[in-house]
Structures are given as C-alpha cells and as structure tokens.
Amino acid sequence: MAIIVNVDVVLAKRKMKLKDLAEAIGITVQNLSILKTGKARAIRFTTLEAICQHLECQPGDILEYKPD
Amino acid sequence: MYLVKTVEEKKVDKLKVTSTRLQVLALVFFVLTPCAVALNVVTGAWAELLNMPQGISLDSQQITGTGLLVVLALGSIKPVAYMVTFLLLYKLLGLYKVGIIFTAENVAAIRKIGWALVSIDIVGMLQTVITGPILTLFAITPGHISARLEVGFLIVGLFVVLIAYVMDMGRELKEQDSLVI
C-alpha cells in the first residue's frame, strides 16, 4: 500500500514501547500492531489524535505517502 | 474494582442467555420428535404418521414384520428431516452461546438450516407421493396414490437461506471493521 505507517519510528525516537502507547491511548496491543505492520484498512481520527497527543507529533510523522 | 459493561457487551450477554434457552428448547424438540413417532406407532395412529389421505385406514393387525418396517421407514422420513433441522439449530445456538456471531461457521450453519427447512416440505411431499404405491406393493392398504402441496417450510427455508447471504455480508463488514483502528 502507498501509505506507510511510521508509528514504530516515532516510538523508537521517543524510546517508548508499543505496549505503553496502547495503554495510554486505550486500544489493544493487537490493534496497534495491526496499525504498525500496515495491515489496517483505516485509522479513526480519534485514534490518530490520541497517538499524536501522546507521542507529541503531527499526523504527518505517523503517516507517509510513498507511490508504489 | 467495578467493571461497567458497554452496550455492545450487554447485547452479547443477552444473546448468550437467549441462545442458551433456545438451545435447550431445540434439544427438547429433537428428543420429542422420535418420541412422537413412537407414540403414533404405539397408539396405532398410522394415518397421522404417514400423512395419509382421509378414507384410507390401516389395520394394526395387518401390520406385522416387513410391513411394520416399511411403515416405520415411511413414517420416519419427515421426522428425520425435523430432527436434522433441530440438530443444526442446536449447533448454531451453541455458537451464539459462546459469543461467536459473525463468522463463516455461523453463515454456513444458517444456510444449512435454511436448506433443512426447505427439505422438510420436499421430503414431506415425496413421502405423501410414495406412501400409497409402497403400501399397496406390500399389500398393507388397498391401491391408492395421493399428493399434497406443502410450501410453508419451503418459503421460510428460502428466506433463511437469503438471511444467510445477508449474514455473510455482515461477516465481511465485521472483518473490515476489525481492521479499522
């Protein structure tokens, strides 16, 4: 898919674990893993907002467009 | 610590409770069906057992040995179709009971129930048609043939098959929804 999810990159920069982020934003680690591995079909604005809030970043840091 | 259940969890709980009760009911009917056949045999209610037309009667004294087996086989056709339907219903309710709702297994179970319902009427009509000639062949009744049109279960069954298709679409939506984070 042309949309790349960079949650793991931002997490690494913040030295934060996936589990901690999942707990902080109130979603399961499994769902966050689906997002991280690019298997997700869509992301809710509320989820994106929560991720950006806790990682103190912009949506553009999380999502990236790369043409196929 | 108090756990507050969401509206969805409450609905699933209600579904589980209702399914458990209905599963017991399906089991009761599954067991009662052969009992009803046995009761008809014991009381000599052959006409009810074989769905025979009015005016044709069976003398219990004449039904012995092979004749009895033939009557039992003919009389068991429709009850077996009922039992298969109850068994399939029991299995489907078992899935609902454990919270399995939108899965391929459920869709298959609903579709099977639909076709089982359709088969009740088809088997019933077939039983009515073949009963006369077979009983005549075994010299149990005087020569007769009858036919009956039964479409109640057939129509309901076809609707259930349609519902299975709708459920399959629901399953796909559920799968897609699980990938929306």
In this predicted model, what pLDDT tens digit does every residue of A2-13 receive, in sequence order?
Answer: 889 999 999 999
Torsion angle in degrees (nearest 10) through CA of B138, B139, B143, B148: -50
Predicted TM-score (pTM) of the model is 0.76
- Chain B residue at shortest CA distance from A33: B181
Q: pLDDT tens digits, residue range A24-66?
A: 998 899 989 999 888 888 999 999 999 999 999 999 999 999 8
C-alpha distance from A13 to closest chain B C-alpha (Å): 22
ipTM for this model? 0.76
C-alpha distance from A56 to closest chain B C-alpha (Å): 19
* Total CB pairs under 8 A between chain A and B: 21
pLDDT tens for the 181 residues of chain B, in order:
566 778 888 888 899 999 999 999 999 999 999 999 999 888 877 777 887 777 777 766 667 778 788 888 888 899 999 999 999 999 999 999 998 888 999 999 999 999 999 999 999 999 888 888 888 887 777 777 777 888 999 999 999 999 999 999 999 998 888 888 8
Q: Cα–Cα distance between B85 and B96 in angstroms, integer?
A: 17
A18 contacts in B (CB within 8 Å)?
A: none
